[in-house]
C-alpha cells in the first residue's frame, strides 16, 4: 500500500529558479470525490493513472500506475473534467531534502507552490528562504480543487492568518 505524507507552502519570489529545470505536466481528474480522486497525468512523454484516498491527519493512501501515453492523452481530452491542470514542476535539493515547486499555467497561472514529502508525520524540515506561508491544510491549493475553483477566479488569496498576498502566488 502506498502512502503520502506531505506539506505544502506558497513560494516567495523567484530565487528558487536558480539552476532548476522544469518538466511540463498536464493532468486531469476522472473522479473528484472527497473520499477518493482518480487522476490522469502526462509528464515527459509518459502517462500515469493515480488513485488517492482521503486525507487523515496529513496522510493518505496513494497508488500510481504507468499507462500508455496515448491512452492518457485521450482520457485527458475526452474524459477528464476541465480545466486541465497544466504546470511546470521543478525539483530542488535543499539541506538533504528534495522540494518540488509547481508553477501553474492556464486557468491557474500565477500560482506557485512548493511541496515536500515526509517520511513520517512531525518530521522536522529546514525551510528555504523562498518558502512562504504553509497551506497544507487549505483545500483550495489541492490540484483537484484547482479544477473546480481555478486560481484565476479567486478574488483574493490570503496567507494563513489572514494577511493578503500580492504578486506571484505563492509570492
Q: Which of 29, 90, 141, 151 is catalytic?
A: 29
Judging by DSSP bridges, how do beta strands 3-11 and 59-67 pair with one another?
antiparallel
Rounded to 5 degrees, φ, ψ at 110 are 100, -15
CA dist 82 and 78 (Å) reads 10
Q: Are 7 and 120 in contact (CB under 8 A)?
A: no
Beta bridge partners of 59: 5, 56
Beta bridge partners of 89: 23, 102
CA dist 87 and 11 (Å) reads 15
Handedness of CA 11, 12, 14, 17 (dihedral sign): negative
CA dist 40 and 51 (Å) reads 9
Rounded to 5 degrees, φ, ψ at 160 are -55, 140
Does the active-site annotation cover 29? yes
Catalytic residues: 29
Amino acid at each position: 500500500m502506498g502512502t503520502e505524507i506531505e506539506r505544502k507552502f506558497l513560494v516567495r519570489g523567484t530565487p528558487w529558479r536558480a539552476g532548476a529545470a522544469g518538466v511540463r505536466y498536464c493532468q486531469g481528474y476522472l473522479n473528484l470525490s472527497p473520499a477518493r480522486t482518480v487522476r490522469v497525468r502526462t509528464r515527459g512523454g509518459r502517462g500515469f493513472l493515480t488513485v488517492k484516498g482521503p486525507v487523515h491527519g496529513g496522510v493518505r493512501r496513494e497508488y500510481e500506475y504507468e499507462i500508455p501515453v496515448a491512452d492518457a492523452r485521450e482520457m485527458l481530452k475526452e474524459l477528464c473534467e476541465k480545466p486541465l491542470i497544466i504546470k511546470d514542476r521543478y525539483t530542488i535539493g535543499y539541506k538533504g531534502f528534495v522540494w518540488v515547486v509547481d508553477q501553474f499555467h492556464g486557468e491557474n497561472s500565477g500560482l506557485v507552490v512548493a511541496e515536500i514529502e515526509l517520511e513520517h508525520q512531525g518530521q522536522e524540515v529546514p525551510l528555504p528562504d523562498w518558502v512562504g506561508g504553509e497551506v497544507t491544510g487549505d483545500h483550495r491549493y489541492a490540484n483537484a480543487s484547482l479544477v473546480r475553483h481555478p486560481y484565476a477566479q479567486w478574488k483574493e488569496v490570503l496567507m494563513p492568518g489572514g494577511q493578503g498576498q500580492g504578486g506571484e502566488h505563492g509570492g
